[in-house]
Chains A and B, each alone.
Chain A
Amino acid sequence: MSAFLVALIAGIGAGALYAMLGSGIVVAFRGSGVINFGHGAVAGYTAYSFDELRESGSLYLPWFDPIPEFGFLQTLRINNLPVRIDIFDNVTLAEKPNLAITFIICLLMSAFLGLLMHFLVFRPLRNSPTLGKVIGSIGVFLYLSSMCAVHFGGQNRYDEGFTGFNSTSGAVKNFLGLGGTIPRSNFWLFGAAIVMCVAVWALYRYSRFGIATRAADENEKGAALLGYSPQFLAGANWVLASVTAGVAGILFLHKTQPAQIALFVVGGLGAALFGNLTSIPGATMGGLIIGMIASGGVELTTNSWWPEIIPGDGVRNFMPLLIIILVLYFRGDKLPIRGSISIGRQPRAPTSTNVIIGAIAALGIGLLLSNIFVSKWEAVLTTTIIAIVFMYSLTVLIGFLGQISLVQWTISGLAAYVMIRLMADGTKIRETDFVTNTGWGWPTVLAFIAAIAVAVIFGLLVGLPALRIRGVQLAVVTIAAVIAVESLLLRNPPLMGDGSVSVNPTPSPNWFGQYVGGFNPNTARTDYWKFSLFIIIIAGLIGVGVANLRRGQIGRRFLAIRANERAAAAAGINVANMKLLGFGISSGIAAIAGCMLAYKLPGLQTDQFEIFGGLALLAFAYLGGITTVWGAIVGGCLIAGGLLPEFLGVHFESVDTGLINAVGAIGLVVNAKVTNGEGVALLQTDLAKNTLAALRREPDETEEAEENSNNDTEEVTA
């Protein structure tokens, strides 16, 4: 019992990080009405900057040189966008730069990040619908994480930073006579969280800036009438929020790897919700509670009676989700939705015309590119097609139904694992396999169907909260679910097999006697032609199905719900059923994508389905166009390793995946602003249409269009 209590108290260490991140999220939310998923990434980037300054004396600016540094471009020497500033000379291990100066420089960096976020992302998106804002903050998350990978290699860092806050500061023995030890740094971090809480709270309570922010939070229009610029206040709050994130990142540098801090945003989100998104002390308390119950829960798993099937890490990562669900369940309707002066319209979701012609054309192009005819693009083509299939699931759920779920890629992973486990029978499949999986040895088709069924059931479970909560809050739940499911299911050795940390070999898939795996035993490469044909056909069928769905009754109903749930109920639509149906269909499609990926590869690795991969796929789906089948196809071609980047002749290795994702994140934000998420696909359809119309018609047509757009803006401001 006392060990449990000690663990609870020790949890204030991790809790302090959640508390600080949560406070920052609240600050940003009060200032701008945006829940920032990228808040942890700001902390991570600042922490990396701090370490880099201490180690090498260089400061990396949060951007990259857009002109790649290889090939003939390198010889042209036109790469001159400053990326690195060498601040300290002669840095050695013995003589590191001054702590305080480094600290201040890094806080300036985080303030700069805050300004960039405000001016480049959230200010332009201030009138976008919820989806646009969520996507914007996911763009920040992806971009900064990618920048960390590009500049700092995503490597672990060991700078000890401030004395007291690092792990070397010893331990408190026998705390309060309970026995056991608690790291002394936990108390320091706890103290820092309390100091930050009081400081920010006092700033809001007593300063003119704080009072104006609170006023704008209550009533943006009213504050504007009193002469406070809401946008100035928003910018100032972004800076404040980023600085608190920076402080958290630097203080935790030695306790938590900077690469991980971005993911701790989930605990921060839980903390912020606990504080009702408005209260700094509430968020601080929420963070500490999450940290403490997580630590206590992990302690419980060390007991002998604890079932081995629930790993300690899973318990830890489940706690933020638990708190978020509890808060939303009990206060779901009462959580503030910060009013802004206007809210933009949803992205259009036109019906697909010429579905059959399009499908035949796509099939033809796919076959032409496949290794049936060309042997060069096999891996690229199948990667692209799998991404497209996955993006169809987002088209249905986010594009048609308007439910922002970030967990779909995890569902793909779940399905892939379930399928592999069901198919495996303990035999070694290839010479190269160094692990064998035991399992039930189900036939391929049966395992495939069962995997889809499991995914659909899981998707329905995720959909349940969506019946009560909507918009950005659903995004918060699902991102917490990603973290929890990853560690509870996908990284769970007893459940997912001994190989889940390294490689899970895929048993050879046989559909009706035909081997359709991607791995070709003759060439020892993943270029087997039957696999290409197989997934081209599957992708074609699903694409036609999704396009037809939009044309049919269900598609209309999904869009009706997306537009207006109240009116949908008045039109006799069972909103709850339709939402669950959407989650089910989407999860089924995502599961197929996951299983296809399992067929393609000789083995599955857990990190293929981790959060960054999922968010990057969402980013490119949004970039292509989240509301149309055509958009999913465009999005699939854009991903790292997809057709377009490969055709551009650039072969991207690990670091450059970061670059591609960074480019995608930028495109994401631009797209959210410019096309409202309709994406490249609709943009070019519109361009084609407008050009045709301009060629055919006299100018009064365009005047009419202008009038309509004027009407729209009027309505928005009204």
Chain B
Amino acid sequence: MTNILETNDLTVTFGGLNACDHVDLAVPTGKFVGLIGPNGAGKTTFIDAITGYVPTSDGNAVFDGNDIGELKPHERAQSGLVRTFQSLELFEDLTVRDNLLVAAYPTRWYTFIADMFHLSRQDKEIEERVNWALNIMGLNDVSDSMPTDLSHGRRKLVGVARALAAKPKLILLDEPAAGLDTAESQTLGGHLREFLNHDMSVFLIDHDMGLVLSVCDFIYVLDFGKIIASGTPTEIRESAAVKAAYLGEEAGEIQVQEGERMRSQQHESGEDND
């Protein structure tokens, strides 16, 4: 089986501190891979590194058979490595549908000439894809609303839908469930596995252990920038190293989940203050 994404010794250094420390990780094509870890473990930094938002100091990332180290963020996105953001990073002046269309249509610089004469044609396949993305995230009823008119949770879903509309080969979901209410969380969780049927692989970061354990085929655990464990959900559930990283030696699984939830809430409120 081939891997859509592979990192070898990927290292990101912030002023002497290794936020990601020689991370070796692989996402097999067509699989659902999760990455979990406590706050500050370097999960988002890892996504930032492979999508080109922070420079790596060592190691490389291979996407779809090509080393992507030299590519700019938008080039990586165009090649099918599409991410979502933990914080809301929507285009607030565009409607929900336009947010998706921006990501869905490829553009050449001379498109503006066709645009000025209102000649650019709608691509049927792309429009269908956008509709599918809106549908799967339950955003049909608000497709012409502005993102600022939606609840926080639904705005996060817009972010996921935007990534889906870009026709990713691998979609990197950065805590998509954080800040969602129960209903929204279920919408998301219920559809995550469906992504795999649309020619894409999924890489998920989340604090919600329950979600990660239930949807992933394979899970990596990150702590202090290092991979401390990897395996199937069952193996991770049993792993002593994981328990140690999360709660110390003796903790049980339920506490793991609860602790995680509390952390994620704290994390959310902490972020809002930024």
Contacts and interface: CB of A to CB of B under 8 A. Distances in A.
Given A570-B73, A718-B273, A551 B78 contact: no
B77 interface: yes
Contacts of B149: 708, 711
A189 B226 CA distance: 61
B120 interface: yes
B236 to A, nearest CB: 29
Interface string B82-122: 11010001111110001101110111010110111110100
Interface in B54-100: 72-75, 77-78, 82-83, 85, 89-94, 98-99
Nearest to B147: A563
Contacts of A566: 53, 85, 89
B201 interface: no
B51 interface: yes
Given A348-B93, A570-B82, A711-B148, A554 B118 contact: no
A570 B89 contact: yes
Contacts of A133: none
Interface stretch (A112-120, A264-272, A573-581): A573-581
Contact of B118 (A548, A570, A715): A548
B166 A549 contact: no
B272 interface: yes
A454 interface: no
Contacts of A715: 148
Nearest to A548: B118
Interface string A544-584: 11101101111111011011101111111111010001000
A142 B120 CA distance: 41
B91 A567 contact: yes
Contacts of A581: 109, 112
B77 A557 contact: no
Contact of B74 (A355, A562, A569): A569
A537 interface: no
Most A Cβ at <10 Å: residue of B92, B102, B103, B162: B102
Contacts of B89: 564, 566-567, 570
Interface string B262-274: 0000000000110
A559 B91 contact: yes
Interface in A524-557: 544-546, 548-549, 551-557
Given A554-B111, A570-B82, A575 B74 contact: yes
A564 B117 contact: no
Nearest to B78: A572
Contacts of B78: 572
A231 to B, nearest CB: 21
A205 interface: no
Interface string B203-232: 000000000000000000000000000000
Q: Secondary structure at chain A's binding surface: helix, strand, loop or mixed?
A: helix
A585 B77 CA distance: 26
B72 A569 contact: yes
B261 to A, nearest CB: 21
Contact of A568 (B53, B91, B120): B91
B73 A555 contact: no
Given A570-B82, A574-B74, A556 B94 contact: yes
A559 B85 contact: no
A711 B146 CA distance: 13
A396 to B, nearest CB: 10
A552 B166 CA distance: 17
Nearest to A541: B116
Given A554-B115, A574-B74, A564 B107 contact: no
Given A563-B94, A718-B273, A553 B101 contact: yes
A555 B115 contact: yes
Contact of B115 (A348, A349, A548, A711): A548
A553 B107 contact: yes
Contacts of A585: 112
B166 A559 contact: no
Most A Cβ at <10 Å: residue of B103, B112, B273: B112
Contacts of A711: 148-149
A712 interface: yes
A549 B94 contact: no
Contact of A552 (B75, B82, B93, B120): B120
Interface string B136-165: 000000000000110000000000001100
A345 B94 contact: no
A587 B51 CA distance: 33
A520 interface: no
Nearest to A573: B74
Contacts of A545: 116-117
Interface string B236-274: 000000000000000000000000000000000000110
Contacts of A169: none
B213 to A, nearest CB: 27
Nearest to A400: B93
Contacts of B273: 718
B109 A577 contact: yes
A31 B107 CA distance: 43
A355 B117 CA distance: 11
B90 A553 contact: no
Most A Cβ at <10 Å: residue of B94, B105, B116: B116
Contacts of A348: 93
Contacts of A563: 90-94
B272 A718 contact: yes
Interface string A705-718: 00010011001001
Interface string A678-717: 0000000000000000000000000000001001100100
Contacts of B109: 577, 581
B94 to A, nearest CB: 6
Given A559-B93, A570-B73, A575-B74, A553 B105 contact: yes
A117 B132 CA distance: 52
A558 to B, nearest CB: 10
Contacts of B107: 553-554, 557, 573
A573 B73 CA distance: 9
Contact of A572 (B103, B111, B116): B103
A548 B89 CA distance: 26
Nearest to B145: A708
Nearest to B98: A556
Contact of B111 (A355, A551, A552, A570): A552
Contact of B148 (A345, A548, A551): A345
B116 A549 contact: yes
A112 to B, nearest CB: 39
A399 to B, nearest CB: 10
Contacts of A355: 118
30 contacts: A345-B148, A346-B93, A546-B116, A549-B115, A552-B111, A552-B112, A552-B114, A552-B118, A553-B101, A554-B111, A554-B112, A555-B115, A557-B102, A557-B107, A560-B94, A563-B92, A564-B90, A566-B85, A566-B89, A567-B89, A567-B90, A569-B74, A569-B77, A570-B73, A570-B77, A570-B83, A571-B162, A708-B148, A708-B149, A718-B272
Closest 5 pairs (CB-CB, A-B): A552-B115, A545-B116, A567-B89, A571-B103, A572-B77
Given A570-B74, A572-B74, 4 more contacts: A553-B120, A557-B107, A570-B51, A718-B273
